[in-house]
Structure 1
Amino acid sequence: MVDLPLNTVAGAGRTDDQGVSAVSPPVLPDGALRVVALGGLGEVGRNMTVFEHDGRLLVIDCGVLFPDDQQHGIDLVLPDFSMLAGRFDRIDAVVLTHGHEDHIGAVPYLLRHRGDVPIVGSRLTLALLTAKLAEHRIQPVTRRVAEGDRIPLGPFDCEFLAVNHSIPDGLAVAVRTGAGLVLHTGDFKMDQSPLDHRLTDLQGFARLGHEGVDLLLIDSTNAENAGFTPAERDITPAIDRVFATASQRIVVASFASHVHRIQQIATAAARHGRKVAFVGRSMIRNMGIARDLGYLDAPADLIIDANDARDHPADKVVLVCTGSQGEPMSALSRMAARTHPIRIGAGDTVLLASSLIPGNENAVNRVINGLTRWGARVVHSGNALVHVSGHASAGELLHCYNILRPRHVLPVHGEIRHLTANAELAASTGVDYDRILLADNGTVIDLRDGRASVTGRLPAGNVYVDGSHIGDLGGSLEDRRILAEEGFVSIVVIVEAATGQLNGNPEIHARGSVRALEPFDELSGLVVTAVALAAEEKVTDTHDLEQRLRRTAGRWFNRRRRRPMIIPVVVAI
């Protein structure tokens, strides 16, 4: 196993909301390059890496993480921009590797700090981002690049290479500075027969390997999977079988940016005489952009408005929507809950055209069960080959290591187990263990004189978007969890202000608690006793008495293995 490099950092400091200590790094030496990932390490999402050199900053990707089941009421999770505080004017550019939300979704929030930061990306990536920013009423400063381009961005000499992924126009980024050459692969795989005929530029990788890659940041998502990721074309027969056997409507759920998958659906629909209707704002917006730019090839009469779909026979329609990850407010989740105008019924076929993102299993299973309850046949990656990943498996990663021969490796984009598996792959190709950097978000890595080392750790906790509020929610998420799982109990007592004696009987109310419908006679007696004891001890402060009541009720509930939120209210008269 490879030791976490953070273990080599001396000192202690404050901790972020993941409980990891922050250790202030030293002043960056002249000519050195500093690399700090603010997201994407230990998680699948929220990808963002900051490069610092000669007093200037370069950001690669700026994405969001979607909330899990324990983050009640949260819309999005952002990277922590605190390391950029007071230095937003030093950012020479934000470079985007591709147009997925976990790589571009946080850009609107970054631009709130400085609206004229240049955004660099490919044609489709910038088009998707510009449409997103329009919803935030932001007009970005953009610079379009393509594979083969090499441009200076401040002191950073950036070269862009084509990589194949589940969305067109993906790019790897080679960053040259006086400190050395860094290659960031972005998300990639090595599909040898991609739908858009755009191959990962292995010749370019080999050329960089010959030049000498000092630090490689490499996609880890599928590092645990042996062999090579199947080609996109491999799932065409399975999709065709779904269309051939469907007797009524077909509803396809996919990411709104998965142009390749939607292309396969559109092709199958045309072959089987069905019209395609897009459902949901993001799906309509993104597919409109893809069609306008030529990334989605569909006959003019194939695509119809969702409102017009009801005028077509059920066996002549395909509805394409979001919700493949069980997102609560997505079109598919609302269909499963019968809160969407489209009513799923017997004979309908629902195709989940994506794989599960870790952590979304429960949400997706709830949607599948809900759809099945209404009589739909649900086809998903667990029972048919209807999706292939957009990330390189172990065989492809080994191939990259052997081509690039990097001096140092920083696995990125993955949970801890993915990063560790990728580190082991690097070691198996001859990369020294002490040159493989397993890092957490916020880990500071300095590259100097051809040597990369961990020099500290900056705060890199979660920043939550909750409606119009953006920031640290403190303990409110824990409160929400308790309320969701255990409910709350309020205890209201009235006491004499002078003596602390109880005036009348306690009132106990429960909401969302398993004991909400049960009598609280025993607990009420304990409350009376606690108030009486406090009066004997001449405790008349209402706050102190509320704390006693909270402890009394807490012990009573603990004996019953319940921990609701307890809200004591003492009124002194």
Structure 2
Amino acid sequence: MGINVIPLGGLSEIGLNCTVIEDKSNAILIDAGLMFPEEDMLGVDLVIPDFTYVYDNAARFKALFLTHAHEDHVGAVPYLLEKIKLPVYGTKFTLGILQKKLDEFKINDVDLVEIETKKIYKIGNFKIEPILMTHSIIGGVGFAIETSAGIILHTGDFKIDQTPVDGKPIDLARLAYYGEKGVKLLLSDSTNALNEGFTKSEKKVGEAFYNIFKEVKGRVIVVTFASNIHRVQQIIDVASLTDKKVCIMGKSMVRNTSISKELGFLKDPKNCIIEESQLSDYPDDRLIIVTTGSQGEPMSGLSRIASKEHQKIKVKPTDTFIISAKPIPGNEKAVYRIINTLLKEGAIIYHDRNSQVHVSGHASKDELKILLGVVKPKYFIPIHGEYMMRMAHRDIAIDVGINKENIFMLDNGDVFELNNNVKATKKVPAGRVFVDGKGVGDVEDVVIRDRMQLSTDGFVIVILAFDSSSGELISGPDIITKGLTYEERSKKLINEATSMVKNLVNQCDLNVRMDSLELKKKIRKALNKFLYKKLMRNPMVLPIIMEV
């Protein structure tokens, strides 16, 4: 066994980022992220990677390295550490965010190792150096991993921003150092590979905030990701320039800003931040409220404001809302529904489609070309993105001179062997595990399909009672429907269905009537056929057979 690279998540999806790098005696994980449920994942709260391969090979896994603290990279860490003990390596801010998550899960015995750039961490046969990367969060890094097969470079999420808010641009010099040394394999962020040019600097958002803040006549409500502390810092900075006060609202926003202040990453030298209880002490035109809900989450601050359920904030025609984020694919309808509601209340709305109140944290085409040119990898695996994004990244790599035979489009679970015969040879278990309430993995695809069927076509319950000794039908069939038709208006249909089921039962011989499983199967098949013919619908049919 040489060196294997195994993506357990993050390919052909936005989220679930998790990669294994292993030799025959040691293995490390890079990131353990979650994904928020898609529209068809009814009732599911979160999605996490399938960690079966990690659990089955627990003795070889020596550490978990985190690139940054976004949920799609660290959100599944508590679920992983509930079943396996691993030291976790991350930057100061990343570990600060993670610690709060572990506290919520009551996980106390984790060895959290704070890492610094330009330092080498030896794990088994691997030497790992964190490299400073610029992203839409504090403390983002990539990793250069020296292995027996050569250097593997994992970028994490990044963009090339030469004027970042914290004054810490991407370390291109260190990337170039490894490029000259010789990078055997590059794994690189593909999120914005379809976007032309360069991603704009985060400072552009601060300029947009200033232009809005200085002109507004009422309150400003800024909605952004709770993890985007650079964005919050710019709000505070501009508030101090425009003589305004900032109130932080929402559980996750308050938690993350509190952590950032404690760790020294969020600064408020002019004491612009106020508590919720102080809102009434200031006129509306001096108030900036920062909250969550940029993705239209049902219980978020923005959603509760729009639905008039927020205890503190009621929409006024003089309010200005700034949605400082771009909807993640699949969330557009929820976000636009909220925007429409607020507009009907007379509020002014700024968002990514009508102003520069948001910039991405991911590299666009020209930045990806620069990184590929600096690193000069022999082999390349595009990661972090839908298949079309990764294909676009593949084409960019070909344009800058990487041999297309040396670019690999992997799927989650593929085992990529980095040795003399580079290839993807086999698969390990990989996929999606659904988290529903307190249940982890107990909701399978079949359950989701049942929920989909219930949500689209409703269900029909058929109740029958038989004499346990003679097999004679002594009660029913009684039919109850929900979500199929309005029963008061469909008595004729229900009566026809009842007669059809009764005739079916009477035609069955005694052996079938005494075999409840076989009888249920016949009733379900016949009633499905009947209802589809009448209504062109496929409700879930649930026969209930009682023996008396």
Same fold (TM over 0.5): yes
For residues 386-397 of structure 1, what are the structure 2 equivalents within 5 Å? Answer: 386-397=357-368
Select the residue among 209, 218, 226 that pairs with 2:188: 218
- Residues 124 and 169 of structure 1 are in contact (CA less than 8 Å); yes or no, is this contact kept in structure 2? yes
- Report percent identity of matched pairs: 38
- Residues 523 and 556 of structure 1 are in contact (CA less than 8 Å); yes or no, is this contact kept in structure 2? no
Corresponding residue of 2:522: 548
SS of residue paired to 1:72: coil
- Residues 154 and 186 of structure 2 are in contact (CA less than 8 Å); yes or no, is this contact kept in structure 1? yes
Residue 561 of structure 1 pairs with residue 532 of structure 2: no
Residue 249 of structure 1 pairs with residue 219 of structure 2: yes
Residue 410 of structure 1 pairs with residue 381 of structure 2: yes
- Residues 494 and 504 of structure 1 are in contact (CA less than 8 Å); yes or no, is this contact kept in structure 2? yes
- The amino acid across from 2:70 in the alignment is H
Residue 281 of structure 1 pairs with residue 251 of structure 2: yes
Distance in 1 of aligned mates of 2:280 and 2:43 = 33
Q: Identify if the C-alpha distance between structure 1 residues 512 and 318 changes in structure 2 by more than 3 Å, giving closer, same or farther.
A: farther
SS of residue paired to 1:214: strand
TM-score, normalization by structure 1:
0.90
Select the residue among 58, 70, 91 that pairs with 1:122: 91
Distance in 1 of aligned mates of 2:507 and 2:127 = 77
For residues 155-554 of structure 1, what are the structure 2 equivalents within 5 Å? Answer: 155-299=125-269, 301-347=271-317, 348-449=319-420, 451-474=421-444, 475-495=446-466, 503=474, 506-516=477-487, 518-538=489-509, 539-541=512-514, 542-554=516-528
- Residues 67 and 77 of structure 1 are in contact (CA less than 8 Å); yes or no, is this contact kept in structure 2? yes
Q: Identify if the C-alpha distance between structure 1 residues 422 and 483 changes in structure 2 by more than 3 Å, giving closer, same or farther.
A: same
SS of residue paired to 1:284: helix
* Cα drift, residue 413 of structure 1: 0.5
Distance in 2 of aligned mates of 1:372 and 1:489 = 41
Which one is further off, 496-505 or 554-563?
Answer: 496-505
- Residues 494 and 572 of structure 1 are in contact (CA less than 8 Å); yes or no, is this contact kept in structure 2? yes
Alignment deviations for residues 466-508 of structure 1 (CA, whole Å, 9 cap, x no partner): 1111114121111222222332222223455566665466433
- Residues 344 and 371 of structure 1 are in contact (CA less than 8 Å); yes or no, is this contact kept in structure 2? no
Instruction: Provide the aligned C-alpha RMSD in A.
Output: 2.0
Residue 137 of structure 1 pairs with residue 111 of structure 2: no
Which one is further off, 492-501 or 34-43?
Answer: 492-501
- The amino acid across from 2:88 in the alignment is I
- The amino acid across from 1:261 in the alignment is R
Which one is further off, 228-237 or 37-46?
Answer: 228-237
Alignment deviations for residues 101-150 of structure 1 (CA, whole Å, 9 cap, x no partner): 111111111111233x1111111111111122111122321111122111
Structure 1 segments of 4+ aligned residues over 6 angstroms from their partners: none
Distance in 2 of aligned mates of 1:187 and 1:535 = 66
Distance in 2 of aligned mates of 1:516 and 1:55 = 65
TM-score, normalization by structure 2:
0.94
Distance in 1 of aligned mates of 2:223 and 2:487 = 39
Which one is further off, 104-113 or 296-305?
Answer: 296-305
SS of residue paired to 1:388: coil
Alignment deviations for residues 246-286 of structure 1 (CA, whole Å, 9 cap, x no partner): 33322211111101111111122222222211112211111
Unaligned stretches of 5+ in structure 1?
Answer: 1-28
Which one is further off, 364-373 or 146-155?
Answer: 364-373
Unaligned stretches of 5+ in structure 2?
Answer: none
Which one is further off, 325-334 or 457-466?
Answer: 325-334
Alignment deviations for residues 506-541 of structure 1 (CA, whole Å, 9 cap, x no partner): 433222335455314234323323322332332413
- Residues 477 and 501 of structure 2 are in contact (CA less than 8 Å); yes or no, is this contact kept in structure 1? no
SS of residue paired to 1:167: coil
Which one is further off, 521-530 or 468-477?
Answer: 521-530
* Cα drift, residue 363 of structure 1: 2.3
Alignment deviations for residues 404-459 of structure 1 (CA, whole Å, 9 cap, x no partner): 2111101011011111110111111121122111111111101013x531011112
Q: Identify if the C-alpha distance between structure 1 residues 344 and 561 changes in structure 2 by more than 3 Å, giving closer, same or farther.
A: farther
Corresponding residue of 2:12: 42
Corresponding residue of 1:12: none
SS of residue paired to 2:521: helix
- The amino acid across from 1:323 in the alignment is G
Distance in 2 of aligned mates of 1:537 and 1:513 = 27
- Residues 508 and 520 of structure 1 are in contact (CA less than 8 Å); yes or no, is this contact kept in structure 2? no
Distance in 1 of aligned mates of 2:485 and 2:322 = 37
- The amino acid across from 2:269 in the alignment is P
Alignment deviations for residues 5-59 of structure 1 (CA, whole Å, 9 cap, x no partner): xxxxxxxxxxxxxxxxxxxxxxxx2xx1111111111111111101111411111
SS of residue paired to 1:411: strand
- Residues 49 and 431 of structure 2 are in contact (CA less than 8 Å); yes or no, is this contact kept in structure 1? yes
Distance in 1 of aligned mates of 2:447 and 2:404 = 41
